[in-house]
Structure formats: C-alpha cells, structure tokens
Chains A and B, each alone.
Chain A
C-alpha cells in the first residue's frame, strides 16, 4: 500500500483547488468560510483556495462519507502514481500541472461526480474531502 502523509495530501489538495475552475467557483465556496488559516497553508497559496477546498470537501463527505479517509486515499493514490509524484513536487506550478493532468485524465475516463451542482473529477473530490 502506498504510504502518504497527511501533509502531502494537503499539499495536493491545495494544488487541486488552485486549478479548480477559477473565480466563480471560489466566490461561491469562500462565502462562509472562516479565514483562520494555519500558517502552514498560508505559505502554500491563496487562503481562499484552501477555504474552498474544505467547503467542497464537506459536500463530498456528505454524499460519500468514505471519500478522503486515509484508507480510501491510500488506495486512490495507489491507482494514481502521478498524484504521489505531485505531492512530492516542491514547485507549485509543476504540481499544479501534474494535478491538472490527473483531473483531466479522470474526466476523460468518466471518473467525475456532481457535487453541489459542480461537475468535478474524482481526484478533486477525494483531495477536497481529505482536507474537509
């Protein structure tokens, strides 16, 4: 089984949220999100992005309680080596690109779901659920 630290998951999730489609999405999800973001994430990117990730994650969890759990994530990462690589990647842009590719691959294979009306990839759903 692939071992993946929680920190790496969170790195991944923030990366994912920053490639999630832009402004409207963030505006929607950041509306009621508290801005008390730990320093750790502040250094990783836009705090509103992280807020959005959490909000999406909560919705995902409501519909799919097993999403984002460590067992599920370990399996999920096992099937998506690109995500493991992305989590190791220190350059934010490269990481974003890798995540983008993984999301695109999910979509291309029909691995997507509807969360609060948004059509998102399974990767996005899993990583958001992980930070929720």
Chain B
C-alpha cells in the first residue's frame, strides 16, 4: 500500500511489527526484504514521490570545518532518497577495514567482512550489479588490456562494479506499492520517538506538511534517514533523554567521516605508448567494471596506513580525449543522453535541464570533444593522474551537532563540522609513495606526489558519503549501536545506513548500506519469529 499522509485522518494510530523511517537505499531494501520474509512493516518517507523544495528545505543546515562539503544539496529528501543523485560506483569494504588497525585510531568493527559476505551477495541485485565477484581473478579473460607487472606483495588491482545507477524511486516504487505487507506513507515526517518506562520506544509521532499528526505503534523501529539525518533526529529527541536518544555517552553525531575525494599525485609513464586499457572502465556482458590500484592489506597493516584505491586518469596528448571538462552540468547531460538513447524519458528531467542551463559551458566542450574523438586518435599518454575517495580515520571531533535554527517541524537544524587530520593526508601521501616504488620497480614510470609535508587540505573534496555518526561498537562507551545495529540504550530501536559504519574504508558506501540493511531485515524477521 502506498499513501500520502495528507489523506489520513489526523490523530490516526497505525500499528505494525516494524516501522522503518526513511525510504532511501537502506529503508526500501529493508521493507522489501521484510516483505519477502512475510513480516509486515510501515515505511515512512518524509518527502514526496517527486522532488519538492518544502521537503528539501528540511535538510538545510550549517557547514563549519572543512570547506569543500555541503549539507543540503548532496542529499535528496524524497522517496528513493539520495539514490536520485548517486553515480553508482560499488565495491564491498575490504576485510582489513573491519579490523582493529594499529595505525588507525578508533578502528575495529564488532563484525567481520566474512560475516557480511552473504549479505553483500544478496545486495548486488538490489543495485543491479553483476555477480558478487570482486577478486581480480574473477575477471581474468573478461577485461581488455593487461595488469601492470607490479610486485603483488605491495600493490594489487581493486575491482569496482558500476550500478546503472539504480534509482530506488523508479526501480522499486511499484514493488513497494504492490507488497501487501508494506504500508508506505509519504509526506510522513518523523517528529519524535516516545519512550516508555522500560526505555523502549512506544510510539512514533509523524507529521505532514499541513500540520497533520499521526502515530505509529510498532514493536521495533528502524531509523534509515541517511548519515547526517540519523544523528540529527536522535539529537533532537531530547524531551525524555536530555542529550537525545542513544546519546548517553556523547557519541551521537561524532566520528563523522567522508571520503577524501581528490585527484592528487601523478605518474609519468616510461612508455607514453604503453597500453593502460586494463585500468580504464570496461563494459562486460554482466556489469561495467573499473579496476584501481591498492596497497595489499599486509603492507597497509605493516605501515599503519588507511585504505585507498587509486583510479588512473590518463591525460592524452590529444585534448579531445580528455575528460577534464566534466562537471555537474555534464553529468546531468550525459545521464539524459543515456536515457534518451535507451528510449526512456530521463528521470529528474527538469532538474537536470536546469542544471545544464545554469552552466552549459562544460556540455558544449564535452559534445565538441566527443565528436572530435571519433576522428582524432588519442595520441600518447602525457601523464596519469591519481583519483580517489580516500579513507579518513575516525575522529571524535568531526561531527554533526544541532544549531539554534528550527525547521518547519520545530526541530533544530544540523551543523556539519567535517574535520580531517594531517595524518589522514600523510597516510595518503605514503600510499602514493609506495605505489611509486612499485611502479618504479616494474619500470612503468615515475610517480610525482601531489601532497607535501605538512599537507594542504585545499584539494580535498567531499565524496558525498556521510559516515559514522551512530557508529557500531560492542562497547556502549565507544559506539551508539551494537553489532545488530540496535541502539545500545534502547531495546527496540535500530539504525540503518552508513551512520553505523565504524570506519569508512575506501569503497563507496551504498553496497555496504544495502548489505547491512538486508542483514538487519533478516535479524528482525528472525527475532519476530522468535517472539511468536
């Protein structure tokens, strides 16, 4: 069932075993998995089925700390959530990312990568990916070009797959509507969670934009509102717990992490005619694949380094083959062109058209270069740039807090204080240096580091990945949720999304978000059966 909250009577109370708040990648996956297990769930979405300024305005807030980030536009507050924006690059977190690592303060998840593998496997199809195959050997013979003969005790290829990218709104709206066990309400904004005497959530207060309020009574509640909003909501729920729900140890909102998105360092190839096809995007029969370069886990452990995958961006002699013009307008244009070429009307048609109209320069350059490319060979490779979404270490001072401004529901807005430490960048520099050593040994070329000591932060941008604000840890003094994603101090409240990640690794987060959502759905469905 799918309904607009505005069509319900004010004061209504709805009941279900499980209430999921937030219909993005995490929330939609959970609802569908619970439906598959035959468990009834109410799915609440604050936004509408389409973009609206009124809903989006609730995401506005302040940014302090690192300048190259954003709090409002990088999230989408509508059915489908931020998957309306995402670009679809996927990989699982690496086994080392789950470990307690010497050189990485506050690292160590209470679960292992092996425990997540079966859920990663199931997550692949939600994101319209290929098989759960992320070892380079899985793709032998299927990719063009050959891997560089790098010392495999130092550097190895890292496999990423590309989702179309799956827009959860378009892809799953029908399934959500048709599932008899799912009641999905949109324009349904969670305003408060009420706690009973025993400390469990007894009901959720939910409001529409016209001021209508309804209540949900469930046995268990799941917050799946995104990495910033999960923390903002918990901090706002301070009427019964002064510092907010789950915040007894002053952890909610802390340890905010993003990936350090940057193009830094470059490789001057010894042979400018050398073939680098293996490291460029591949179309395969099942899924587009992109290979990057990573230090081996042993080397990372030995050197105490953070995780990073370097993607190689060649700069060709012929300008027409270079993609340095790409910006938001170009991305919008190419997404529309792709949709039209498949005979579809593109999603977010008007939003994208406006993005292009605002800054059409890159689109003109892009179209011109793409035409020239057909007649002009690329020539030699002049240099190869290192592009990455590098890991930052968990840092308690990097955080989401509340400020004095209120949104239309009277809830305090968020302030994002993204903090990076010099050590994060020095680790990245050392990673590039070690790659430089390996490519030197293989005679591939020489690397020039793009980071000095002390490093400058001005080339670091947000990866649009909001991570860590309700982190997972067995110890309630070090984490907000336990290994089952349950808030330590509330027996029936769970968190879904990248806010539960203990560390960020370097892989883009959505595949892990979906895997954890499936795992949580299994857990709740299993618990539900236990209760009967």
Contact = CB atoms under 8 A, between A and B. Distances in A.
A68 B451 CA distance: 27
B438 interface: yes
Contacts of A21: 267-270, 445-446
A117 B445 CA distance: 14
A22 B442 contact: no
B203 to A, nearest CB: 60
B440 interface: yes
B449 A104 contact: no
B217 interface: no
Interface stretch (A41-49, A58-66, A69-77, A118-126): A118-126
Nearest to A121: B440
Contacts of A23: 268, 272, 382-383
Contacts of B436: 112, 119
A103 interface: yes
Contact of A20 (B271, B442, B446): B446
B383 A112 contact: no
Q: What DSSP secondary structure best describes chain B's contact surface?
A: mixed
A19 B382 contact: no
A119 B447 contact: yes
Contacts of A104: 440-443
A25 to B, nearest CB: 5
Interface in B245-288: 266-272
Given A117-B450, A119-B433, A120-B446, A107 B438 contact: yes
B445 A22 contact: yes
A100 B229 CA distance: 55
Interface string B401-443: 0000000000000000000000000000000110011101111
Interface string A88-132: 000000000000100111111010101001111100000000000
A20 B269 CA distance: 9
Given A117-B448, A120-B446, A24 B437 contact: no
Contacts of A118: 446-449
A19 B437 CA distance: 15
Question: Looking at B151, B436, B438, which has the most chain A CB atoms within 10 Å of its CB?
Answer: B436
A104 B441 CA distance: 4
Given A119-B436, A121-B440, A108 B446 contact: no
B268 A25 contact: yes
Contacts of A100: 443
Contacts of A119: 432-433, 436-437, 440, 446-449
Contacts of B438: 107
A110 B437 contact: yes
A25 B446 contact: yes
11 contacts: A22-B270, A22-B271, A24-B266, A107-B438, A107-B440, A117-B449, A117-B452, A118-B447, A118-B449, A119-B436, A119-B449
Interface of A: 19-25, 100, 103-108, 110, 112, 114, 117-121
The 10 closest A-B pairs by CB, nearest first: A119-B436, A21-B446, A107-B440, A107-B441, A21-B445, A21-B268, A108-B441, A24-B268, A117-B449, A24-B383
